[in-house]
Structure 1
Amino acid sequence: MNDWTWQTIVRRSWIGAAILLLGLVVAFEGGNTRTSRSANAQSAPAPATRLAAAAPTRSPAAGQPRIGGILKFGIVKDIGTPIPFVAYTSISQYVKDNVYEPLIMFDQKGEIHPWLAESWTPNANSSEWTFKIRRGVKFHDGKELTANDVVWSAKHIIDPANGAAGHGQLSSNVRDAVALDNYTVKFISPGPRGLLPEILADTSTLHIAPKESLAPGQQKMIGGAPPPGTGPFKFKAWIPGQEYEVARNNDYWGGAPYLDGIRFRVIIESTSRAAAVQAGDLDVTERLGPSFVQRIKSGQLKGLQYVSIGVAGIKQLVLNTQLAPTSDIRVRKALALSLDKDAIMKEATFGFGIPMLTWAPPNTDWETRNSFKWKRNIEEAKRLLKEAGYSGKPISFGSTQGQDDPWAEAVVRQAAEAGIKLSVQNLAGAELIQKTVAGELNVSVYGAGGVGEPLVANEQYIGCIGGKPAVGNVAGICTPEFEKLINQYMEEPNRAKRLVIWNKLAQKYFVDDVAYYVIGWANDRNFVWRDKVKNWERGPGQEYTHAKGGLWRTWLEQ
């Protein structure tokens, strides 16, 4: 996860992205249930190496994989920091997935695969999970990955002072991590956690970095380079606000990638990204709208390929419950009553969107069990504002520059009809996340999403730890009742019973307390790439890589 978070995330929402900060992570294809393998011990060999399997060369026969070349990839936002664990947006997470890896990983279908861990086994009630670490994996500095690195990474993320994207999800579900030997880690949960593999397979939750490679509280790069990862690409350079570059890891445990490297270029405006991919200044770009894709489909634009994200992710408003005047529930409800979701979706996505109440994927029982729908009622909104004593003072309203403009414009205009004055702060993505997490904004345009169960994908946004909001809980709402319900959900092995708990949480967060106002799922995003880019596939959401493919298997045709 913003969007992620992140997401995962955010991940976990951008990132939890931030996940943190956020997480956020998030924004993914809806209706696709993530399914883990059996809870019994899982194991698998390392993925077949690309070099051995395809025998590529730098001058292959036509249609065969080729080694070499720098892929130029256009992204909407800067990554904010190259530091692992900290993800200010979902894009930040997706970019760094090429350098830092999780223990287990989803493929395109949402199925879980071994990655840095070869197997995972629960105890009788799934309150403890034992992971066997893959032997022989090396960090980019040549040091071998051990269980101690995994334990340190987990504890670093669990500590809220470190601002990690996965803090909300990991700290809610892992009480402790212990190294049993050099290649065995035990995760101890506060109760049964049959869904822990689902949580850890989201890359925004737990990446692995070397033990003590970051100081406590460190969120910025010190000394010119971030900690080394284990991924198929190594950090090369970062120019804040402009580009982030990675280079091939020739010693990658799964086999070296085809590409010499990837240069992620930050281009905020979609028209500029579209022009760049047409001109060949970019090889791949994200988040181009349906009007551009229609020109490819019609044959008007040649030499380009595309893939639609489907239900790309959620757009929502985060309402700060701790900062006046949105700390008053009457003001939050008045804002919700001043808005027309259908009109906003049509304006912002040209009709390519689905208004929703919660984070649930559309056309699933996670959404349809709750029949409540916000309906615009200007007179009732005005009554609540008067009752709350709202004087018309500007309410701070943050949005991401370029990306969120149509959403923000529609919200500001509609809210004004009820007498609500939103003062827009048009910010860079990372700055929006930072201000939102710090509690400096009353309202923020945010992302969310995820495949499968909505609470698993977005737990960071409502996480409560010991009666206090987790790092990614940007609405700042946390009560003993909420924390109890969340824990009950995560401990419940029966899906039907989890659904009942989810509906209770949905009623409280999205209706009774209006901590988040979900506008809906947008499906107006598309990846576009030039014909010379071969074998690239997005992840189960909008990720740039996944357990069976992505940028680590992409090659460039000459």
Structure 2
Amino acid sequence: MNLDDIRLSRRSFFRGVTLFGTAVAGVSLVGCGGSSSSSDSSSSTSGGGTLNVTLSASPKYLDPCKYTGVYESQVINNVADTLVTYKMDLSEIGPNLATDWTISDDGLTYTFNLRGDVKFQAGQYQDGRALTANDVKYSLERSATESSMNRLSMLDHCNVVSDTQIECVLKQPASSFLTALTDAGNVIVPQEEVEGWGDSFGDHLVGSGPFSLKTFTKDQQSELVRNDNYWGEKPNLDGVNFKVITDTTQAVNALQTGDADVTTDVSGESIQVVKDDSNLTLDQKDALHIGYCYMNQVNGPCADQNVRKAILMAVDRDEIVNGIWQYGEGSVASLPLPKGSWGYDASVEDDVPAYDADAAKQLLSDAGYPDGMTLSYYYSTSTTGDKIATILQQQLKNALNIDLDIHKSDWGTFSADAASGVADIYSMSWTWYPDPYFFLNKLFSSTEVGALGNGAGFSHSEVDELLDKALEVTDQEERATYYKEALKQIVSYDPILVYGSRKVTTGLSNKVSGFESRADQLVYIVNSEVNVSKSA
């Protein structure tokens, strides 16, 4: 199905579109060894077979309301569908389950017309029935009240007009609503399956996407098979296996031996291995990503801004980036918003405390810690996480006599700990959409305290006011003005150590055709723009 064949109202187009900005222009595809890039969809041929994709961390929750990481969304997005979706280059939002939509003059009511030919995959509690507006109401209202990431906090309720038309009524105008609807946490699912499986629904996820979930084995793999009743273009592949291989060397070894066809999050020496192998292709592009260490704003020594500022001044970002991304996987960054976002303001970089170990030591002493301290440090298991922890531990010990008490765990355990506010410092990365809402609101709004984004407890009324104003207006330039001011205010509190921004780096077997990387790191196997194939 071509997006151009679907009618969009003029108002819905101009008010619903989100522009991507500079990151797309900076896309870099690096092909090695093959005569053509594996991402060239024009050479795609239907060969069936199963595509094996490696993930660098294990998904824990496939229930859309419970998921917290990109690893889960890789699976969810290929099993279930959202109302609307970003184009692959993230330049605009287009139709998906909804064919078109309009927005009321007050910005509170969004009316969606739905496709009439969509069916759910058959499950334990329904046999593959038609998807209707009642399912949209159930799924979105469930997300609005139960999402672990507050993904639809702006939604008040939905009104079913007919089987193929629904109204979404917001609590207040929120110009990020359409973008929020593209998220995997807001896919449409059948109520019978959710209620029938209860807490284990995620292990038996059912949606209307191109593939059905056959098995989900935590820490091992998610096995997907083609959904022959898919409403879109028939998938070329018979199935997709998302395999968990946390070590990048092992993942690329699997790529070389043929046990994997696509390897996500390639890093370190493995990048050169892929480049040097004529049977493989390295695909890179700038990501909408920040890597950071968030400091507790409420409890412990880091609740003192002078302590946080001393830590910022004691950390050498160049050393961190050179230590974790030795093969060009990323670059130094200092602001909690990626440069590819249209809300980025380079002038605020000057407000971030510069590296000055001597001044940092004096500041910490003035704060009452002349002999240093011990801080708890939490992160999720990964090769990169190990490197960051080691480097930061050494830097803070040498500069400030701060000892880091390391707590390392799987993603599910870590995300719960980080959200609870138990850590003095927690380290992770954040990847989402070009709209600043998905970084600044999610990480710094007081409404997000207790969620993973704002587990550090950042809460300042003037920041909240600016973030709220940015949601009330629809003009992107006006929104950007508010977000830039909010960014400046946020940085003034020294809440977070942003050290870098990485690239999306993917290893591909030359047997794969039609694969396309995205700046938000999401993996789509089949949608209106791509249909991945694998030759024998």
2:65 maps to 1:85: yes
How many Å separate the matches in 2 of 1:37 and 1:463? Answer: 33
Verify the 8 A CA contact 1:228 1:234 in the aligned structure 2. Answer: yes
By percentage of residues, which structure has more helix? 2
Q: Where do 1:98-177 residues align within 5 Å?
A: 98-110=78-90, 111-141=92-122, 142-159=128-145, 162-165=146-149, 167=150, 169-171=151-153, 173-177=154-158
Shift of 1:450: 3.8
- For the 8 Å contact 2:83–2:187, the answer to whether it is kept is yes
**What is the CA–CA distance in structure 2 between the aligned matches of 1:209 and 1:325, rounded to whole Å?**
44
Mean Cα deviation higher: 230-239 or 413-422:
413-422
Matched, 1:509 2:490: yes
CA distance in 1 between partners of 2:210 and 2:341 (Å): 37
Partner amino acid, structure 1, of 2:360? A
- Work out whether 1:442 is the aligned partner of 2:414: no
Deviates more, 1:133-142 or 1:477-486: 477-486
Listed one character per residue, the Cα deviations across residues 80-100 of structure 1 (whole Å, up to 9, x for unaligned) are 122223223112112211112
Provide the rounded CA distance (Å) in 2 between the counterparts of 1:284 and 1:501.
40
Partners of 2:315 and 2:519 lie apart in 1 by: 31
Q: Matched residues in 2 for 1:217 and 1:485: separation?
A: 41
Helix, strand or coil at the partner of 2:402: coil
In the alignment, is the contact (CA less than 8 A) between 2:268 and 2:324 conserved in 1? no
Distance 1:260 1:362 in 2: 35
Report matched runs for 1:347-496 at 5 Å.
347-350=323-326, 352-361=330-339, 366-370=344-348, 371-390=350-369, 392-401=372-381, 402-416=383-397, 417-457=399-439, 459-465=441-447, 472-496=453-477
* Offset at residue 67 of structure 1 (A): 4.4
The gaps in structure 2 that reach 5 residues or longer are 1-7, 15-42, 123-127
Report which stretch shifted further, 373-382 or 271-280: 373-382
Q: How does 1:4-19 map to 2 (within 5 A)?
A: none
Number of residue pairs aligned between Structure 1 and Structure 2? 489
Distance in 2 separating the partners of 1:37 and 1:293: 45
TM-score if structure 2 supplies the norm length? 0.84
- Percent identical pairs in the alignment equals 23
- SS of the residue 1:326 aligns to: helix
Seen in structure 2, the aligned counterparts of structure 1 residues 236 and 336 have a Cα distance that, compared at 3 Å, is same
Matched residue of 1:145: which SS? Answer: coil
Instruction: Note if contact 2:226-2:235 (Cα within 8 Å) is conserved in structure 1.
Output: yes
Unaligned runs of 5+ in 1: 1-35, 43-62
Shift of 1:138: 0.9
Does 2:221 align with 1:221?
no
User: In the alignment, what sits opposite 1:343?
Assistant: 319
Q: 2-side partners of 1:539 and 1:353: how far apart?
A: 18
Task: Report the counterpart of residue 254 of structure 1 in structure 2.
Answer: 232
**Contact 1:127/1:192 (<8 A) preserved:** yes
Cα separation, partners in 2 of 1:358 and 1:38, compared to 1, 3 Å = farther
TM-score normalised per structure 1: 0.81
- How far apart, in 1, do the equivalents of 2:54 and 2:414 lie? 20
Give the 3-state SS of the residue equivalent to 1:155 in structure 2: helix
RMSD over aligned Cα atoms:
2.8
Deviation at 1:504, TM superposition (A): 2.6
Change (3 A) 1:488 1:98: same
- State which drifts further: 234-243 or 500-509: 500-509
Q: Deviations over 1:457-499 (max 9, x none)?
A: 553222443x965564222223443332211011123333323
Q: Do the aligned residues in 2 keep the contact of 1:463 with 1:469 (CA within 8 Å)? A: no
Please report how far the alpha carbon of residue 271 of structure 1 lies from its aligned counterpart in structure 2 after TM superposition. 0.8
Question: Using a 3 Å threshold, how does the CA distance of structure 1 residues 462 and 487 change in structure 2: closer, same or farther?
Answer: same
Q: How many Å separate the matches in 2 of 1:363 and 1:105?
A: 18
Quick one: structure 1 residues 109 and 422, their matched pair in 2 at CA, closer, same or farther if it must change by over 3 Å?
Answer: same
Residue type of the alignment partner of 1:383: Q
Aligned residue number for residue 186 of structure 2: 206
Q: Would you say the 8 A contact 2:44–2:532 is kept in 1?
A: no
Residue 253 of structure 1 aligns to a residue whose secondary structure is coil
Shift in alpha-carbon separation, 1:441–1:213, aligned structure 2, 3 A = farther
Whole-angstrom CA distance in 2 between matches of 1:188 and 1:131 = 11
Could you give the per-residue CA deviations for residues 29-55 of structure 1, whole angstroms, max 9, x where no partner exists? Answer: xxxxxxx9953379xxxxxxxxxxxxx
Between the aligned partners of 2:311 and 2:141, the Cα distance in structure 1 is 39
CA spacing shift, 1:322–1:170, aligned 2, 3 Å: same
Q: Does 1:277 align with 2:255?
A: yes
Single out whichever of 106-115 and 243-252 deviates more from structure 2.
Answer: 106-115
Residue type of the alignment partner of 2:309: K
Change (3 A) 1:479 1:243: same
Residue 71 of structure 1 contacts residue 283 of structure 1 at CA under 8 Å; is this kept in 2? yes
For 1:457 and 1:440, locate their aligned partners in 2 and report how far apart those are by CA, in whole Å. Answer: 22
* CA–CA distance in structure 1, aligned partners of residues 10 and 221 of structure 2: 41
| Rounded Cα–Cα distance in structure 1 between residues aligned with 2:498 and 2:426 | 12
* Preserved contact between residue 536 and residue 549 of structure 1 (Cα < 8 Å): no
Could you tell me which of 199, 219, 223 is aligned with 1:241?
Answer: 219
Give, as a single letter, the amino acid of the residue that structure 1 aligns with 2:351: F
